[in-house]
Amino acid sequence: MSDESPLIRSMRAAVAAAPEDVPLRLHLAELLLAAGRNDAAVTEAAVALQHAPGDPQARALMARAMGLPAAASEPPAPPAAGAGPANGLGAGPGSATGGPAAAPGTGGESGAGPASGAVAGVGPAEGTGFDWAAAEQDLGHVVGPRFVTSGDSASGDSASGDSASGGPRSGDSASGRPGLEAPLTADDRSADGNDGDDGDAAVWDVDAPGSVRLADVGGMQDVKDRLEAAFLAPMRNPELRRLYGKSLRGGLLLYGPPGCGKTFIARAVAGELGASFMSVTLSDVLDMYIGASEKNVHEIFRIARAKAPCVVFLDELDALGAKRSRTHHNGMRNVVNQLLTELDGIDSAQDEGVFVLAATNVPWDVDLALRRPGRLDRTLLVLPPDAPAREAVLRYHLRDRPIEAVDLGKLAKATEDFSGADLAYVCEAAAENALLDSARTGNVRMIGMADLLGAARQVRPSSEPWFAAARNVAMFANEGGMYDDLLAYLKKKRKL
């Protein structure tokens, strides 16, 4: 370095004293580039990108130093005077803002996707920061590959052919949006008056037809086939339905361990039907005044008829429709009675286009009358994601994070029996470990396989307690063969 100019040597000393000051480091890179030291400029620009992923000036300088086409190096419009870096990260010491640098790969946000849900094929959302996939392609010798493939491939190593993964479009998810669900289009908020005399307006959230489809759900092919045969195909083909006398009476009850994407599957069904989506929970129904809860149930179905085609999704059905024999509160008993009345009318002309889906983790606590033929008579078991679905969930939750050499096949094998929510937590814990390590050492680094496998070893599958409780119910209280699918899965996994 003896041939370096005094200015460059002074700048190097300044950068060494303030290694997180991105503007200072970029100024040094500009001087090196002007002096024909392209390799040294690339090194400084790469370090700047580690501290500030997505910084437009750093990306443009990196492209210039590497001799990439001018279009790739053209930065966007500069931020307004007094604004911080374009990527939303705080500047390092000596900068105008004086704030600490944000975590790598966050782009000023959490970077977490839906907590549950498997969806594949969606890249980073717009405005989330540095495009790591583009960096892997254009700057491969500086930024290592994000994903690698070893001999361990999860695609043919599925634990169960009927495993399910909810998740976001890729989302949750799911999530989705592994959420746990992936974001849909802007919702249509409807304000309709109550039928009573008080004149108060009840506001219910009705999501407009979304873009999520069953194809966005990773894995669970058997579940998709059953949905198509029992629910979707008859609705899409009214002439064939009439020819074969196929009835559309009744609804669909999704059950299984928590965090596996039941809500996301319901949204995907609504997307397949091109229908609005109305999610109903206990807080939407219960009211302190006598008779108001029952009126709320009626109002929900009235709005669904007005918004038809519409999917009414009864979330946590065990809370809304608990067994009346175990309920000593008259208000809850009346809610169940009103719900039964509304479900009895879903095949009438006025309810044409209203489809009822429900989800629960404990179907054995749901009132038997709700599962009578003509009501929620179709059941679907939603299990933890199989290996291909786990890969999709992991890819979704790692999509905006700075990762390097991640073998999804190996990671999917190490997370067998994990739910979509468990997989989201593994990615979050690995990112946290890399962040803390970077903060302690002062050197920002990528998230690697060691972080992800270490996080996976610390997580116990959250579905285990559910299977422990469901085993006895499936063996000794299999009413009408409702839990045949669960028994088959338990035998296959040798959990009986």
CATH number of residue 171's parent domain: 3.40.50.300
Smallest CA-to-CA distance from 331 within 291, 369, 302 is with 291
Q: How many folded domains does the chain comprise?
A: 1
User: Which range, of 156-170, 275-289, 453-467, averages the lowest pLDDT?
Assistant: 156-170
Any bridge partners for residue 242, and if so which? none
- pLDDT of 79 higher than 70: no
Smallest CA-to-CA distance from 169 within 100, 121, 108 is with 121
Asked whether residue 440 is domain-assigned, the answer is no
- pLDDT of 130 higher than 70: no
Smallest CA-to-CA distance from 142 within 50, 76, 219, 211 is with 50
Share above pLDDT 90 across residues of the chain, in percent, rounded to a whole number: 18
- pLDDT of 3 higher than 90: no
The larger pLDDT score, comparing residue 192 to residue 359, is at 359
* pLDDT, tens digit (0-9, with 9 covering 90-100), for 368-402: 889 888 788 888 899 998 888 899 899 989 988 98
255: confidence class by pLDDT, cuts 50, 70, 90: very high
- pLDDT of 294 higher than 80: yes
Backbone angles phi, psi at 248, to 5 degrees: -100, 10
pLDDT at residue 450, rounded to an integer: 94
The larger pLDDT score, comparing residue 355 to residue 245, is at 355
Q: Where are the beta strands (DSSP E) in 80-194?
A: 188-193
How confident is the model over 255-264, as a mean pLDDT?
Answer: 89
pLDDT at residue 191, rounded to an integer: 35
Asked whether residue 68 is domain-assigned, the answer is no
- pLDDT of 439 higher than 80: yes
How confident is the model over 13-23, as a mean pLDDT?
Answer: 84
pLDDT at residue 135, rounded to an integer: 55
CB atoms under 10 Å from CB of 288, counted, come to 7
Asked whether residue 495 is domain-assigned, the answer is no
Domain span at residue 163?
Answer: 103-138+151-400
pLDDT at residue 448, rounded to an integer: 93
pLDDT at residue 453, rounded to an integer: 95
Asked whether residue 183 is domain-assigned, the answer is yes
Q: Is 248 helix (H, G, I), strand (E, B) or coil?
A: coil
495: confidence class by pLDDT, cuts 50, 70, 90: confident
- Mean pLDDT score across all residues of the chain: 74
**Rounded CA gap, 67 and 112, in Å?**
34
- Answer for the pair 172, 115: CB distance below 8 angstroms, yes or no: yes
Asked whether residue 187 is domain-assigned, the answer is yes
Please report how many Cα atoms fall inside a 13 Å half-sphere around the Cα of residue 336, on the Cβ side: 22
The larger pLDDT score, comparing residue 301 to residue 226, is at 301
**Rounded CA gap, 306 and 316, in Å?**
24
How confident is the model over 418-438, as a mean pLDDT?
Answer: 93
- pLDDT of 166 higher than 60: no
How confident is the model over 233-249, as a mean pLDDT?
Answer: 77
How confident is the model over 88-106, as a mean pLDDT?
Answer: 38
**Rounded CA gap, 442 and 100, in Å?**
12
User: Which range, of 211-225, 259-273, 338-352, averages the lowest pLDDT?
Assistant: 338-352
- pLDDT of 218 higher than 50: yes
The larger pLDDT score, comparing residue 434 to residue 90, is at 434
Asked whether residue 1 is domain-assigned, the answer is no
pLDDT at residue 36, rounded to an integer: 85
143: confidence class by pLDDT, cuts 50, 70, 90: low
**Rounded CA gap, 429 and 442, in Å?**
20
pTM: 0.61
pLDDT at residue 351, rounded to an integer: 63
pLDDT at residue 124, rounded to an integer: 38
- pLDDT of 193 higher than 80: no
User: Which range, of 16-20, 140-144, 423-427, 437-441, averages the lowest pLDDT?
Assistant: 140-144
How confident is the model over 219-224, as a mean pLDDT?
Answer: 77
Smallest CA-to-CA distance from 341 within 281, 311, 303, 300 is with 300
The larger pLDDT score, comparing residue 473 to residue 231, is at 473
Q: Give the DSSP letter string of 387-451.
A: HHHHHHHHHHHTTTS-B-SB-HHHHHHHTTT--HHHHHHHHHHHHHHHHHHHHHHS----B-HHH
How confident is the model over 47-75, as a mean pLDDT?
Answer: 71
Smallest CA-to-CA distance from 354 within 415, 278, 421, 280 is with 278
Asked whether residue 5 is domain-assigned, the answer is no
436: confidence class by pLDDT, cuts 50, 70, 90: very high
Estimate the crossing angle of helix 292-306 against helix 330-344, to 10 degrees.
20
53: confidence class by pLDDT, cuts 50, 70, 90: confident
- Answer for the pair 369, 387: CB distance below 8 angstroms, yes or no: no
Asked whether residue 253 is domain-assigned, the answer is yes
122: confidence class by pLDDT, cuts 50, 70, 90: very low
